[in-house]
Each structure stands twice: as C-alpha cells, then as structure tokens.
Amino acid sequence: MDLSHNAYRNCQLCPRKCGVDRLGGRRGVCGMPATLDVARAALHMWEEPPISGESGSGAIFFSGCPLRCVFCQNHEISHEGFGLEVTGARLAQMMLELEQQNALNINLVTPLHYAPHVVEAVQLARKAGLTLPIVCNTSGYERPELVRALAGTVDVWLTDFKYASSSLAGALSGAPDYPQVAYEALKTMLELLRERGGAQCDSEGVMKQGIIVRHLVLPGHVDDSMRVLDLVWGLCGNEVDLSVMNQYTPNEACRARTDELSRPLDEIEYELVLDHADDLGFDRMWWQQGGTVSESFVPPFDATGVEGPELASISEQDR
C-alpha cells in the first residue's frame, strides 16, 4: 500500500475510500486536507494501566476522523477540525519532547487518515534516537491493508470495537460496514502481533507490544455490547487485553435526543457486560469504577505542546 504523500492525491487511506484529492486542498470524509493538523501533544494519565502507567502516555491528538459518531466526546477535533498545521519534522520533534518528559510511549490518537505523515515522522524520530513504543489509538475503522503496511511503525494497537450491529453502526457512526471492517482490521493486528512473538510488557506492566481492544458500553445497547465481546473472544481469546468502558457521557447533541443515548449508562447495564466478559474467559481485562461520567477523561484541546521547533538533527536529504 502506498504510504508516500501521493496517497493523499486520490485518498483511499480509510475504508470510506472517498478518492478526494487532499493534496489539492479538498477535504476527505475525515474532514481534513493533506495538511497535518494536531490539537494537543502532552502526557496523558487516563489510558489503561499498561499504557499510562504511573508516568503517563505521550498522547498526540490529530484533527479529523473518518467516523461520524453522534456521541463523540472529542467533537472539537474529530468533527470541528480544531488543530494547528505542523510538518512531519515537527511531529517527530513532539515525539522526542514527550520522551524527554518521561512518557512511557508515543500514543497517536486517531492518526491514520494521516498515515503518510505518521510513517515519515516515526522514521525521523527513530533516526534522532526515539526509543519509545508507538501506540496507535484507533477507532478500529481501518483498512486491513493499511494495518499491515504499518507493521514496522506501530508496536501497540489500542483499538476500539464499537459495534456488532451494522444498523447500529450506520445510525450512530454513519458506517454500516463498521463491524466487518473492525473485525478484519483486528484480525490483521493479531496476525502482526503473532509474527512478533505475542504481547510483551516490562517488569512494571507497561506494554511494549500488544493489543488492547476497547469497547464503550452504550446505554440501551447491552445486547450489542455482548455480541461485540463474543466477536473479540472468538477471534482473539486471551491474546489481547480487553478494556470495557462505562464513561459514556451524553454530549449536547445526545442530550437533545429522545432515545437511550440521552442518558448516562446505568450501573446494572455495565455490570451485565462485565459479567459476560468474565463468563467468556478474558484474563486480562480492564474496567472503570463509578463516577466516570462526572470525571472528564477528555483533555483540553488547546494546542498544548504543538508549536515549537522542527526536528533539527535530520538533514533535508533525510526528509
């Protein structure tokens, strides 16, 4: 799969395959042209323990998203496109700055509609001495071909599996093909992990390579959540970590709805899904305790850590 900047010319990077000329300034379904926009680069303490640990994950939040989830909590960047334009060299420098802040990894949040820039930046940062694992924090809505092409770039896949129902995926994210796409993407991630010898954590429990599958339980949709867990278990078993989240918080648009999405998740609903995960046999499972709706897991998108010098130790020829 072509991951040069020419890939933006007739963009086929995500499953939408919109074919837009992003290099020419047009915006794809992701909402972004070929210019690289980043909303925040800072330590993030609220990921799963194998990712954030005690020191924090070096999270870089990218603008835009190929999905259109009605309940998105990052709507400022995913829907509204907030962010500052940077170069691949500046992105590489951000990674090195986060390593200097004792980040445990470089956590790229919704990055793959910018895959050519991501590959370029990781290569530049590695040449300049970056040693941290690269985490790809994704919605799960990725082409398997792209996942395969990132085998030498990504060490940890932190991937969502949002829906088992095509109708629900279509209604809430505008992507009725989401279940099939997410399944094939996860299958490819698992194949890559097996080729590397399986999951690895250090003595502190920090993941160096592996897969964490996230699922956000939605109010009124416990049955679909259980079907998602069935799919993940059937494909992966205990080769992956499972993260079952209860942090659904109705945004302004959802509060105006007349269905179940207008309310937070009920504790009983969450417990039913956790019990199902236990019954399936997941050994490495992460869950959230009460109070997550009132506690914000969304950092301020204020361009923290984005502006600054480009990577100075790489020659123009290397670029």
Contacts of 189 (CB under 8 A, 6+ apart): 147, 157, 159, 211
**Domains defined along the chain, listed by start:** 28-287 (3.20.20.70)
| pTM for the full predicted model | 0.95
Q: Kindly write down the DSSP assignment for every residue of 67-126, as one continuous string.
A: ---TT-TTHHHHTS---EEE-HHHHHHHHHHHHHTT-SSEEEES-GGGHHHHHHHHHHHH
Residues for the chain: how many in total?
319
For 211-263, write each residue's pLDDT tens digit: 999 999 999 999 999 999 999 999 999 999 999 999 999 998 999 999 999 99
For 140-182, write each residue's pLDDT tens digit: 999 999 999 999 999 999 999 999 999 999 999 999 999 999 9
For 48-104, write each residue's pLDDT tens digit: 999 999 999 999 999 999 999 999 988 889 988 899 999 999 999 999 999 999 999
